[in-house]
Amino acid sequence: MGLDKLGLSLSRLLVILLFQFSFSEKHACHFERDDSSTYRKEGSLVTGGFFLFLKAETHIDNFAHFFTFCHFRFMLKNYQHFLTLQFAVDQINKDPHLLPNITLGYQLLNNLNSNKVAVENSLTYLSGRSLTIPNYSCGRQHKSVAVIGGMSSALSMSMATILGLYKVPQITYGPFDPVLIDKVQYPYVYQMGSKESTLHLAVVQLMLYFGWTWIGLLFSDNLRGQQFFRDLEEAMVMHSMCLAFKEKVPEEFNEENREDYIIFPKIIGSSSKVIFIYGNTYSLLSFSIFMTQYILYGKMLVTTISWDISAETNIKTMSHLHGTIIFSQAKREIPGFRDFLRSINSTVNSEDIFLKTFWEIVFHCRISEESPVKMVYSLCLEGFSLADVSTHDLDTIIMTLSSNIYNEVYLLAHAIHQMLQMEIKETLELGVYPLLSWKLHYYLKCVNPVPGANDEVCGDESRIMAETYDVLNFQFFPVPMETLVKVGEISPFNKGLIINEEDIAWPEEFPQTPISICSVSCGPGFKKIIREREPICCFDCTLCSDREISNQTDAQKCLQCPEDQHPSKERDRCLPKTITYLAYEEPLGMVLASAALCFSLLTALVLGVFVKHRDTPIVKANNRSLSYTLLISLTLCFLCSLLFIGLPTQATCLLRQISFAVVFTVAIASILAKTLTVVLAFAATKPGSGLRKWLGSTTSYLLICICTLIQMCLCGIWLGTHAPFLERDIHSEASLIVIQCNEGSLFFFYSVLGYMGFLALVSFMMAFLARKLPDTFNEAKYLTFAMLVFCSVWISFLPTYQSTKGKAMVAVEIFSILLSSAGILTCFFAPKCYVILLRSDRNTLEILKNKVSL
């Protein structure tokens, strides 16, 4: 195993040497390593600072990628990383309790965001201030202890290929990357950046706050991006959110690979208005370049501070990034750092080449005559300091990475302090620090990371949990100038979210808060129906059924109202049902009751007329005893209908159908007896007929009694088996509870009606056959019409009764009783009353005899 590692190390070193030789020989525009390329401050121990200050263009040839300074632009705000390390070292050197009798120095190097330059800087740091010679350390006397650097994981891995050979600790300040946790491949790399293990929760909280449930996702094609995608997708599923699309962003777009370019048409063609982009500046470099060709118009971008969108060179692209929402770890102020920045000027650190470059670019002047910018700018005036620099050029507010660097320097200082306490004797005897960086690894794993901390923590995992995120808004102005405005704060653990919407500047395409949904939300009264083979965010809205409601937005199902309640018109709440019945107070009940009373009174008047004129020929000729019986039964029929009106009780439920059936049977049986009397009377007039003995009143009343007794037997069986009962009908009408009488048994109910219909049909047939008898007995004609009306009414009653519900059923039955009874009264008694009251001259025996003789 040891031989394998040695072979691997030698092969890496050989590649580096070949690269250096080829790089320096073949290219005229190259980066020469000399003392002017770094800034160094001596001390008892020296730490390396590998930062990014310049951004270089990339050129490609058949051998390798290389970077030149022929074309570059300054990444001004990254210069604060250099200043942060200097400030932290000065603070430590002033502390009498931390590293006493030892001064901490530093060597600052510029990685230029290039893996190749990072490798070469690693050799420079190990070799010393002279030429870059592997395995030689010129003038250091084992003073190097550790390296702070690695703005991206790619740079950290490149540096680890060299630093790892010599077991030099590397503390990264960039975002946490799970790749670097592998202690087999990267045993000497320590991460100080906060782990974004809760970032997906913060993203979901923000999306839910603005109602964005339909979003697109772009993530870098690496382990970090894939892990974030899995976490975000799981959280979105839990909150019923959907991805309109998800695309991996390759670190290098291949011009010959069409799949790399199809990402932009997918984004533009997507119905999602919100796009979340996850990655860092390095992994999204190619994507940022191609954004100049594909402007994402009509899309709201959300990203993290790891992708520095302000690094874009194209002003047109930056203007379209206006309004972008950015997640950043919560601001951590460095005590005293602002005062330190205000105190810096070009004369204090005259050897700091990075400060000179920064100074000339920001203040548009040149520090010396030898400056390469003398043809453009004049000499700088005295008195300027960094206090005069705008936050646009030097960001002192958003200092996440600067805070990491500051904590890393203190982490290193505490580790050295603990190590020297444990090995104080050896240190004092030798006067030097042999293999100090090798021994430092144990103490870097378990130290107090920041000054003033008391709890001991161990390993990367204990120092990398971000609990709070700031929500920033990228705002671009025509000057041109951009700024990041803090518009909110999210704490995923505490589920806390504060958003100041009035401070947010949305993209120009959105006059107000963007809406990003697949389907419009279903309001109360509707439920969601998921579309087949589509995400759960894409659905249709269906109105709840008649007896159901939904009282919330996007309800999965409708809720059924309790039996004593009914849905509102909007079907968003349940309302108490109104108790109802056919009352005397309502118009319909009042009309029916008035009609029943009027007809009963009219029948009583007719009875009075017949009683008063009982000795007249027309009354005698029509069997006055049967007429009295019929009129009395009709009066009771009219009055029976009053039992159907008003609040039902158990007593009225038992009485009303039985009394109606019995009384109506008496009336029909009386008509049948009258009809039979007419037929027998005509037949008895024939000589030698034996029917004369059946013409007496005894036969008629016997027939009435028999017919009535049969009906009473049916009613008795009905009451004894399935008697009518009182019930609350809650289903017939949606908004009403009908208090009504249940017939108990429909069979017996229709049997009773059928029996009356049978009697009426027999009466009708007999009356129809006797309609052409002599005028003296023309009562048969009136009986025919009366039975025709009766049968028509009750035949119409059956389908009507079946098709109605609630109190309308009661009204139909009352109407049928009144109409059939009134038909009998009118058809049978109206002509007789007309003769008795208005044509008394015809109510004589002579007239009747003359008619008989005819």
207: pLDDT strictly greater than 90: yes
24: pLDDT strictly greater than 90: no
Structure confidence at residue 454 (pLDDT): 41
Structure confidence at residue 465 (pLDDT): 55
853: pLDDT strictly greater than 60: no
Structure confidence at residue 326 (pLDDT): 93
Q: Which residues lie below 8 Å from residue 379, measured CB to CB, with a gap of 6+?
A: 365, 366, 367, 368, 369
726: pLDDT strictly greater than 50: yes
CA atoms within 13 A on the CB side of 708: 20
**Average pLDDT, rounded, for the chain:** 78
What are 467-509's pLDDT values in tens digits?
Answer: 788 899 988 876 656 678 889 999 887 778 899 999 999 998 8
451: pLDDT strictly greater than 50: no
In whole angstroms, give the CA distance from residue 609 to residue 628. Answer: 11
Strand 39-41 and strand 170-172: the pairing is unpaired
- In sequence order, what E strands does 523-582 have? 526-530, 539-543, 548-549, 559-560, 565-567, 574-576, 578-580
* 350 burial via Cβ count (<10 Å: 0-12, 13-18, 19+): exposed
CB of 249 closer than 8 Å to CB of 284: yes
Task: Provide mean pLDDT across the span 318-332.
Answer: 83
390: pLDDT strictly greater than 90: no
What are 409-429's pLDDT values in tens digits?
Answer: 998 898 888 888 776 545 544
For residues 581 and 196, the model is more confident at: 581
What are 234-288's pLDDT values in tens digits?
Answer: 999 998 899 999 988 887 766 566 666 678 888 888 889 999 999 887 778 778 8
- CATH top class, domain 199-334+467-503: alpha beta
Structure confidence at residue 15 (pLDDT): 42
Task: Provide mean pLDDT across the span 57-78.
Answer: 40
Structure confidence at residue 4 (pLDDT): 44
397: pLDDT strictly greater than 60: no
The region of weakest confidence among 175-179, 709-713, 738-742 is 175-179
What are 112-129's pLDDT values in tens digits?
Answer: 777 888 888 888 888 765
Q: Which stretch, 706-720, 777-791, 799-813, has highest mean pLDDT?
A: 706-720
In this structure, which CATH number among 3.40.50.300, 3.90.1150.10, 1.20.1070.10, 1.10.390.10 belongs to the domain 587-853?
A: 1.20.1070.10
Q: What is the token pair recorded at 403? A: 């805070």
What is the residue extent of each domain of the chain?
33-195+354-447, 199-334+467-503, 541-575, 587-853
DSSP string spanning 586-652?
Answer: SHHHHHHHHHHHHHHHHHHHHHHHHHHTTTSHHHHHT-HHHHHHHHHHHHHHHHHGGGGSSS--HHH
In whole angstroms, give the CA distance from residue 244 to residue 225. Answer: 18
| Sign of the torsion angle spanned by Cα atoms 447, 451, 455, 460 | negative
In whole angstroms, give the CA distance from residue 325 to residue 19. Answer: 42
Structure confidence at residue 94 (pLDDT): 92
Q: Which stretch, 251-255, 389-393, 457-461, 632-636, has highest mean pLDDT?
A: 632-636
Task: Provide mean pLDDT across the span 367-371.
Answer: 68
Task: Provide mean pLDDT across the span 807-818.
Answer: 89
DSSP string spanning 63-112?
Answer: S-EEEEEEEEEE-GGGHHHHHHHHHHHHHHHH-SSSSTT--EEEEEEE-T
CB of 286 closer than 8 Å to CB of 312: no
68: pLDDT strictly greater than 80: no
Paired with 219 in beta bridges are: 248, 278
Whether domain 33-195+354-447 has CATH 1.10.3720.10: the reply is no
Alpha helices in 173-314 (DSSP H): 199-210, 223-238, 258-261, 263-269, 285-290
H or E segment at 41?
strand 39-41
Same fold, 33-195+354-447 and 199-334+467-503: yes
Structure confidence at residue 597 (pLDDT): 94
Structure confidence at residue 276 (pLDDT): 95
Count of beta carbons in the 10 Å neighbourhood of residue 557: 10
Q: Which stretch, 442-456, 701-715, 797-811, has highest mean pLDDT?
A: 701-715
For residues 303 and 457, the model is more confident at: 303
Structure confidence at residue 6 (pLDDT): 42
CB of 741 closer than 8 Å to CB of 653: yes
Task: Provide mean pLDDT across the span 17-41.
Answer: 49
Strand 39-41 and strand 45-51: the pairing is unpaired
In whole angstroms, give the CA distance from residue 745 to residue 807. Answer: 19
CB of 582 closer than 8 Å to CB of 569: no
Paired with 542 in beta bridges are: 527
Task: Provide mean pLDDT across the span 636-649.
Answer: 90
Structure confidence at residue 636 (pLDDT): 92
Paired with 217 in beta bridges are: 246, 276
